[in-house]
Copies of this chain bind each other. A is one copy, B any other.
Amino acid sequence: MSVPKSVSRSVPSAVSVAAVATSRMSIQTQGTGFTDLTADVAEFLNEVGAKEGALMLFIRHTSASLTIQENAVPSVLVDLTTALSKVAPENAGWIHDTEGPDDMPAHIKTMLTATSLQIPVLNGKLALGTWQAIYLIEHRRVPHRREIVLQFIGAT
């Protein structure tokens, strides 16, 4: 399954690292679903004058998570939600059920997706692909206030 490859690579660029910039973000979710944070992250990079380096997002919860996914077709997000619910269904005999039937599935979905994301920043912009957006995924049914730490390390 490990296939032959054809690889090319650009000449590396290098700059001095000068700064780590941090900001805490608070997001009110509307219950289960995806929230696009791409524009908010871009605004943060602009505000701190980020030029070249790495951007990290870290979510301070275990029943909501982060992912980078398709930004063009909303039905993709519906299917991603369905896929997570198939892997971690409610009422599947979970021992931990004191916080509601959607709580333990939310922890499982968080473990299988991401608690932190890292994205390169080049020329002051997120190096996302054309079809990529940054999403918070709320796994609980009820709206929650969620906290994310944004951190840029690199040249400003």
Which residues of chain B have C-beta atoms less than 8 A from A42's C-beta?
none
A22 in contact with B13 (CB, 8 Å): yes
C-alpha gap A20/B118 in the complex (Å): 14
Contacts of A31 in B (CB 8 A): 3
Number of copies: 3
* A142 contacts chain B at the CB level, 8 A cutoff: no
Q: Roughly how many angstroms separate A7 CA and B120 CA in the complex, as a whole number?
A: 23
Q: Mark A133-150, 1 if CB is under 8 A from B, else 0.
A: 001001000000001011
Which residues 3-45 of A sit at the B interface, judged by CB distance below 8 A? 3-37, 40, 44
- For the complex, give the distance between the alpha carbons of A24 and B123 in Å: 13
A binding-site residues for B, Cβ under 8 Å: 1-37, 40, 44, 47-48, 52-54, 56, 58-62, 67-70, 73-83, 87-88, 94-96, 98, 104, 107-108, 110-120, 122, 127-132, 135, 138, 147, 149-151, 153-156
